[in-house]
Amino acid sequence: MDIASRPSEPAENTQVADAAPPPAAPPVIRREDYLPPAWLVPEVALDFRLGLDATKVVAKLSVARNPAGSGASTLRLNGDQIAPLAVRVDGLDVNDWRLDGSDLLVELNGEAHAVEVETALNPAANSQLMGLYASNGMLCTQCEAEGFRRITFFPDRPDVLSTYTVRMSGEKAQFPILLANGNCTASGEGEDGTHWAEWHDPWPKPSYLFALVAGDLVANHAEFTTMGGRKVDLNIWVRPGDEDRTQHAMDSLVNSMKWDEEAFGREYDLDLFNIVAVSDFNMGAMENKGLNVFNTRYVLADPETATDGDYDAVEGVIGHEYFHNWSGNRVTCRDWFQLSLKEGFTVLRDQLFSADMGSEAVKRIEDVRVLRIAQFPEDSGPLAHPIRPDSFQEISNFYTATIYNKGAEVIRMMRTMAGLERFRQGTDLYFERHDGEAATCEDFVKAIEDGARLDLTQFRLWYSQAGTPQVAAEMAHNGTQTVLKLTQTVPATPGQPEKQAMPIPLRVALFDRDTGTHSGEQLIVLDKDSQTFTFDGFTQPPVLSINRGFSAPVAIEFERDSADLVFLAAHDDDPFARYEAMQGLVVQHLVAAVSGKLDDAARAEGRAAIGEAYGSVIADPALDDLMRGELMILPAETYLAEQLPVSDPGAIHAEREALKAWLGRELAAPLKALHDRAVAVAYSREAAARGARKIKTQALVLIACSDPAEGARRAFAQYQAADNMTDRQGALMVLASLDAPERETALADFHDRYEGNALVIDKWFSLQAGALNPKVLEHIAALAQHPDFTMTNPNRVRALYMAAAANPKAFHDASGEGYRMIGDLIRRLDPINAQTAARFVPSLGRWRRIEPVRAAMMRAELERIAALPELSRDVREQVSKSLG
């Protein structure tokens, strides 16, 4: 409780509280301070004696002075929450070591030594899920970014590459399966029911790629033969009982391995590839060399328990982690400021892979939607940072949409400018030049520059400047000439008040209004503050289609008639541009509506245009249903808020809901017909059937908005008839937002049916927390008390609270109760799992962009957190930046 809420407290107490020293700010790490390591560690031998609540680790490091280092005789070994039980140098116990904070410093005189350190760990007590921890009776590790130092003392930085040999022993009954990176070189039985295994990884790697897993696991096994003829054993390890849900992951793995050979010429380099699924995991998955560790949600899938979206996510993440074997492992990062070197590139690779496995157009639209919802707000808020940051306090806070998704967009622009063939020459050169190295973003750009023969001098600004560029377009027509004037501004971001113009590659096409065609797409590059581009051959003003395929991650500002947008929504031959025109139509209308700029006539006119475009999307026989479903998705509330300097979330929500209800009424007959048609399509994983499921729920949402009784009836019928999770979840989502008797019945049935299936119970929490139900805040409070809720499982915490934080109806409730709920969560979760707690801060950090009454309440929550004497570095950094 804070001081302000205890008015009866005597004033002296406030004085005492004020006198306490303010919590120390964590030190700032800067990119420009990079120094090569003084000592290298060519080889490591680790010996683990495993136990759930007591594990002993003996680490033998062969260390050698780095010729490129400072020459310092002190060896710095990072540690975190561990103590050295014994330190030996060249076989002798030494006293010549000391602790500097949590680091272990050892004085060494020679050029090379053997340093041995013993540590003891309690994995069962490790709720942070970094280092070695227990999950459902099994042991596993997570070392990226700085988790290895929670296992043993080590130069825990990505530019120290070592060859690892790992021996582990433990009770056979408890840990029948023993895994680490590389290949198993020996194994055997020990005394008292123990057994042991030895693993060797021939590829030198940084400590963040180390992994060990021990537990009762079963594998789905397959084989893959690489293009060079290497036979690779593939295993997906899960808890007994889950093996029937691993086939899609296995298919995705085989497809990934094949695709990387074809698309990037990258071949796998070990005889074994293991994936382990764990249910307690902070992130999606981890690319440890030869031993990927996955959150169960990106492995397990079958039609009964996983939606089509879940299937796509499994495929994408399996691909992502596999692709890291080259973009991340064979070529790793010099330091954590270079994180986007591996993450941006690997996200681009997984996006291209998923596009090739399914619909390129739909994948592009989905990727842009994620960018706009997750990255644009980051880029325009207090936590904005370039894709290659200049400083940080806690690296875990930098696994962001900017590093990942904007990072991918930046590399995609190089690909667009070079063309596919030359881009491939660039990536080939990158892998050839830097294989086995810890590289920088600059190394990547240089390799693309040389290999693809591009001049990227000015383009490098994309790596150093934060903020989403705004491109204003104006078009003038006279005679037969059309002049397009483009002006770019890159907004100021924290620490970067002034920006320079960046090269912005824009794919454009000009349409003739009468024929509905264009004479060819062009790539223009805007690389000055302002520039004009001239087009000939139009006798009347053409319709501009710009940033087609979303060729640059920018916001285009272009005032235009609804008629032009309706035209492009119906005629553009670039599917992304068609989607963009639909979005633009709705965005223009809703932004005007919430800004109070629409009188009744203008509102009616705007709605009519949207209704017309929507109606033709529903009716167009040339569209496949997956694409139709994409076109029917209205712009998200966060994206609408981005269009305004300061927004009222209540007004945005009300206007958007009103439009949905209007569309539901206006198009009642075609929507019902669409729903009926989709309901009649049988389940399969084919695109046509997936499309049918997508539009089925889209139609249902709009029907329920305009006619709740009819919506409830149809949703309940869809729920009861469902033979797959996509239909069942879609129906339950609609019911969860309604105040109908069917709601309780279906929710209770869902819980009964899937009791004990953690991933599906997560959905049960999410659907309720994300619902537009008037009582949603009460529901969330009750769910937090539900016996199935726990603060120690990140998936469960996210299921309830991420859904709540992303639900404007809950989070932005005018009472401020939503803010309080997230503030309380952060304070309670921080001591348990700081990384996960910190991920909830940005939602409150948006306060400057929200209307003043809510903004004050959001800020107050941040201050309440900041006032805590004990805060993790993770939360401290995010909160202080959000207040600063």
- Give residues in contact with ligand PHE (CB under 6 A): 142, 144-145, 283, 285-287, 320-321, 343, 399
Residue 78 or 697 with smaller CB distance to ligand PHE: 78
What phi and psi, each to the nearest 5 degrees, are found at residue 437?
A: -110, 165
- Between helices 562-571 and 600-619, what is the axis angle to 10°? 10
What tokens does 511 get? 């349409």
Residues that bind Zn ion (CB under 5 A): 343, 346
Residue 762 touches which of Zn ion, ligand PHE, none (CB < 5 to 8 A by kind)? none
For the bound state, the minimum distance from the C-beta of residue 370 to ligand PHE, rounded and expressed in Å, comes to 14
Question: Going edge to edge, which strands form the sheet with 522-526?
Answer: 522-526, 504-511, 543-546
Q: Between 104 and 211, whose beta carbon lies closer to ligand PHE? A: 211
Tell me the closest approach of the beta carbon of residue 324 to ligand PHE, in angstroms.
6
Q: Which of 198, 315, 321, 580 is catalytic?
A: 321
Six-digit token pair at 693? 């499921």
Residue number with CB closer to ligand PHE (154 or 764): 154
- Specify the residue, 164 or 294, whose C-beta has the smaller distance to ligand PHE: 294
Q: Which of 186, 213, 184, 218 is nearest to 201 (CA)?
A: 184
Start-to-end Cα distance in the chain: 23
Tokens at 490, concatenated: 């890159």
Q: Which residue's structure tokens are 């021990």?
A: 214
**Residue 55 binding: pick among ligand PHE, Zn ion, none (C-beta 5-8 Å cut-off by kind):** none
Closest to ligand PHE by CB, 65 or 406: 406
Minimum CB separation of residue 398 from ligand PHE in Å reads: 10
Residue 703 touches which member of Zn ion, ligand PHE, none, C-beta under 5-8 Å by kind? none
Q: At what angle are helices 668-679 and 708-721 packed, to 10 degrees?
A: 10
Q: Phi first, then psi: what are they for 314, rounded to 5°?
A: -60, -50
3-state class percentages of the chain: helix first, strand second, coil last, to nearest 5 = 45, 20, 30
Binding partner of residue 556 among Zn ion, ligand PHE, none, CB cut-off 5 to 8 Å per kind: none
The conformation of residue 801, written as its DSSP 8-state character, comes to: I
Distances in Å between the Cα of 332 and the Cα atoms of 68, 746, 834 are: 18, 49, 26
Which of ligand PHE, Zn ion, none binds 609 (CB below 5-8 Å, type-dependent)?
none
Cβ neighbours for 872, distance < 8 A, ≥ 6 positions apart:
394, 830, 831, 834, 837, 838
Which residue from 591, 640, 649 is spatially nearest to 816, judged by alpha carbons? 649
Token representation of residue 672: 């019902």
Output 330 or 779, the one with its CB closest to Zn ion. Answer: 330
Position 385, amino acid: H
Cβ closer to ligand PHE: 75 or 286? 286
321 is catalytic: yes
SS (H, E, C) 287-343: CCCCEEEEEHHHCCCCCCCCCHHHHHHHHHHHHHHHHCCCECCCEEECCHHHHHHHH
DSSP 8-class letter at 371? I
Which lies closer to ligand PHE via its Cβ, residue 399 or residue 511?
Answer: 399
Residue 230 Cβ, how far from ligand PHE at the closest point, in Å? 24
Smallest distance, ligand PHE to C-beta of residue 641, A: 28
Q: Residue 345 Cβ, how far from Zn ion at the closest point, in Å?
A: 9
Bridge partner residues of 170 (DSSP): 195
Give min distance, CB of 307 to ligand PHE, in A. 22
Residue 144 binds which entry of Zn ion, ligand PHE, none, CB below 5-8 Å type-dependent: ligand PHE
- In this structure, are strands 97-100 and 103-107 parallel, antiparallel, or unpaired? antiparallel
Cα→Cα distances 445→415, 426, 461, 500, 554, Å? 12, 9, 11, 19, 20
Q: Is 493 helix (H, G, I), strand (E, B) or coil?
A: strand
What is the closest distance, in whole angstroms, from the C-beta atom of residue 592 to Zn ion in the complex? 40
The secondary structure of 437-470, three-state, reads CEECHHHHHHHHHHHHCCCCCHHHHHHHCCCCCE
Minimum CB distance to Zn ion smaller for 328 or for 845: 328
- Closest residue to ligand PHE, judged by C-beta, is 283
CB atoms inside a 10 Å sphere around CB 775:
11
Closest to ligand PHE by CB, 336 vs 801, is 336
Residue 399's binding partner out of ligand PHE, Zn ion, none, with CB under 5 to 8 Å set by partner kind: ligand PHE
Q: How far is the CB of 350 from Zn ion (least distance, A)?
A: 8
Query: What is the nearest approach in angstroms of ligand PHE to the Cβ of residue 309?
Result: 19
- Active site residues per annotation: 321
